[in-house]
Structure formats: C-alpha cells, structure tokens
Amino acid sequence: SYISLTEALIHAGVRTRTRVKIQFVEATDVEKHGTSLLDGVDAILVPGGFGERGIEGKIQAIQYARENRIPYLGICLGMQLAIIEYAPDVANLHGAHSTEFNRAAPHPVIALISEWQDEKGTTEQRTEKSEMGGTMRLGAQEVRLSHGSRSHQIYGPDVIQERHRHRYEFNNRYLQKMMNAGLRFSGFSRDGLVEMIELPTHPFFVASQFHPEFRSPPRDGHPLSTGLVRAARDYHASHLPAAPSA
C-alpha cells in the first residue's frame, strides 16, 4: 500500500545518485520492543494512514528522530503525530491528541475542521456525521510557503501545488503556543490551514499535511523526498568511524 512512497524514495535516490535502502518497521513492533528497532537508521519517515493501530509506536519513532537528530519526514498523519508528540513534551500541552483517536483530549491539537476552501476558492463543509469520502480534503491545492523556512529552501517557489487526502487538520487555536515552543509552521493553505511544519534547530525535521509522493517524477524526484535522502546521506557520513591516523 506504500508503493508510491517507495517509488518516491527511489526517484530521490536517482536524483541524488544515492543507493536508498528502505527498511520497513511495523509501528506495533516499536510499541512492543521499543525504539531499539530503529538503531542504525539514517532517516525516519512516518507516512499517512487511518485508524488507531500503531499510533503510539509512530509517536515513539518521531520522538526518537527528534531527540537523536535523525532526519525525519512526516507525511499527512506523520505530520499530525509529529505535532502530537511535540505538544506535551515540549509545549507543555499535556494530554494533547487528535480527536480522531481521543474525543475527550484536553488539548485537541488535531481536529476535524468543518470548513475549508478548495483550489477554486469554493467553500467545502463537513461534519463528523458526513461520509468519510465526502469529508476529505482531496486533490491538488495551493500551498503558500514561508520565506526563510527550510521548506521554502527545499522547494524554491513561494507557492506550490500538492495533492491532499485527509480529514483532520491542525487546530489553529494552538498555533501561537506551538510557535512559542519552537515549532515552525512553514506552509499554509490559501485559507490558513497548516500545510507544513519544521524544527529550525534540527538538521532535517520536516512534515507535510499533503502527500508529496503523489507528485514524484522518476528522473528528478520530489523536493521533499530528495531533501530527506540528502539529509540521510549527510547523517550517515557524519556517523562513519574516523579513519585511522597515518
């Protein structure tokens, strides 16, 4: 089910002339056996998904990447869980979670947004009683990047188009608190929904609400997956054993 992600990483390897070795790790195994399963990796990617299975394992993997300064790319749910991991541990929002998984969360940093604009500027609406397919933010939509951010540096243009497939969004009520705690919000939709986050103090910690793998050209790779592979290569090189002195 993650073939598009696998292909996007291979495309990034072609672009950067890097042999990409992909290791699939079950999030439920991380829950059972801990983050030692991730020892030796040069980057971590948490993809999109639905349902509660493996959520805590994914959060543990994100924390492992953040605290050990391992390159991290979060996609869709991977962005939401990065926020959920950061909120209690750094922003002191204890009990922060998504209403998708915990309706009674004291700090619903991820929630079902009832209204947004599509790429044509038409207002779309949804409720918890709406059918899932009818409540998704779908298709290519405009993303506006913040000047000076890593995301802007990775892409280049001020405005990009990326494809979406999700229901839940970051709750902008917590925007200032999370910013005060050091999280940077580097991309927004035309109506102010969060599209990208990053950690300025981390070598490469970037996450998107959209799905970059859906727009990955085979020869050039997508900017985000290419950025991750470059960061992984740098991380790997920095952890090689020192050459013996002559």
Per residue in 182-213, pLDDT (tens digit) is: 999 999 998 899 999 999 999 999 999 999 88
Query: Residue length, the chain?
Result: 246
pLDDT number for residue 133: 45
pLDDT at 188: 96
Average pLDDT over residues 14-23: 96
Q: Which residues contact 1 (CB under 8 A, 6 or more apart)?
A: none
> Mean of the pLDDT values across residues 81-93?
97
Q: Is 211 a catalytic residue?
A: yes
Which one is catalytic: 97, 202, 213, 222?
A: 213
Instruction: Return the pLDDT at 141.
Output: 85
Q: What secondary structure letter does DSSP report for 131? A: -
Residue 104 has pLDDT above 50, yes or no: yes
The total of other beta-carbon atoms located within 10 Å of residue 231's CB is: 22
Structure letter (DSSP) for residue 38? G
**Active site annotation includes 213:** yes
Which pLDDT belongs to residue 123? 47
154-170 pLDDT, tens digit per residue, is 999 999 998 887 789 99
Quote the CA–CA distance of 93 and 221 in Å, as a whole number: 37
Closest CA to 233 of 75, 17, 23: 17
Catalytic entry in 11, 76, 166, 169: 76
Identity of residue 82: A
Whole-number Å distance between alpha carbons of 119 and 8: 24
- Eight-class DSSP state of 42: S
Burial 160-190 (b: 16+ CB within 10 A, else e): bebebebbbbbbbebeebbeeeebbbbbbbe
**Higher pLDDT residue, 167 or 79?**
79
Angle between helices 3-16 and 223-238 (to 10 degrees): 70
Residue with tokens 């900017």: 223
Give the residue carrying structure tokens 């919000």: 185
Q: Known catalytic residue: 76? A: yes
Q: Rounded to 5 degrees, what angle do the CA atoms 235, 4, 210 make?
A: 80
Q: What is the DSSP letter of 65?
A: H
Query: Which entry of 164, 166, 211, 222 is annotated as an active-site residue?
Result: 211
Q: Is the pLDDT of residue 24 over 50?
A: yes
pLDDT in tens, 108-160: 999 987 644 444 555 455 555 544 444 566 677 899 999 999 999 999 999 99
Which amino acid, 18?
T
What is the overall mean pLDDT for the chain? 89
pLDDT at 16: 96
- How far from the centroid of its chain's Cα atoms is residue 135's Cα? 21
Determine the pLDDT at residue 116.
42
